[in-house]
Structure 1
């Protein structure tokens, strides 16, 4: 077996949300006990014809996930909200507390901006405010049966 074939055997293709990523199997073993560290060809999301694993997940967040495996540094993409980022990390089996210090403030602000809901009831009127930042969404309902 030549070196070119050995290299190809050590690589893996991950199709995430239609975007193909290629890396080494050893890279995915760097963070144990995660979804990517446990890939096998017996999994339902492995396509033997294309020789790739398919995940119908957010490809932009996955770019940061794969970079974390490669570099050991988890950065927060600023084009997604905090809850979506957390959901993706949970799917991949990663800990959100590993976000790098340079991204921590942006990440925690992104979580809080969309994560707070306050509800006020006054008789038949119900007001819900989503977020505590300027421009937060506010909705009001009136119970017609009251």
Structure 2
């Protein structure tokens, strides 16, 4: 039987299976171990002080193999979260790619303005 894992991200608890997190190798989630400092043995969960809304999309990517861009966050925040979790922004699904790149370009233009 596959081990269930609890991930507390920004105060929101997510449950999944260890096998789900192994689907995308060489990422932060694929390398989880109870020896990590963010594992709480009393609660039997991992805690990450990250954006919980973006994480829902990231976890769904592990489950489905499809990475969708959440339109309620800016491109740079999404990129920062992807980088933290060890994921590639080029994996964003075609249906979300235009929205994602437009938000990302807009943020860059605003910074340079």
TM-score of the alignment, normalized to the shorter chain, above 0.5: yes
- Out of 69, 82, 92, which is 2:62 matched to? 69
Q: CA deviation at 1:41?
A: 0.2
**RMSD across aligned C-alpha pairs, in angstroms?**
0.9
Q: Distance in 2 between matches of 1:25 and 1:114?
A: 35
Distance 2:90 2:79 in 1: 10
Q: What SS does structure 2 have at the residue aligned with 1:74? A: coil
TM-score, structure 2 length as denominator? 0.96
Unpaired segments ≥5 residues, structure 2: none
1:13 partner SS: strand
Deviations along 1:53-73, one digit per CA (max 9) or x if unpaired, are: 000000000000000000000
Higher strand proportion, which one? Answer: 1
Match among 34, 46, 54 for residue 53 of structure 1:
46
Mark the runs of 5 or more structure 1 residues left unpaired by the alignment: 1-5, 119-128, 130-146
Give the length in aligned residue pairs: 112
Q: In the alignment, is residue 36 of structure 1 matched against residue 29 of structure 2? A: yes
Q: Deviations over 1:123-146 (max 9, x none)?
A: xxxxxx2xxxxxxxxxxxxxxxxx
- Indicate the residue corresponding to 2:79 in structure 1: 86
1:25 aligns with 18
Of structures 1 and 2, the larger Rg is shown by 1
Name the structure with the higher helix share: 2
Corresponding residue number in structure 2 for 1:99: 92
Provide Cα deviations, 1:112-131, integer angstroms capped at 9, x if missing partner: 1111244xxxxxxxxxx2xx
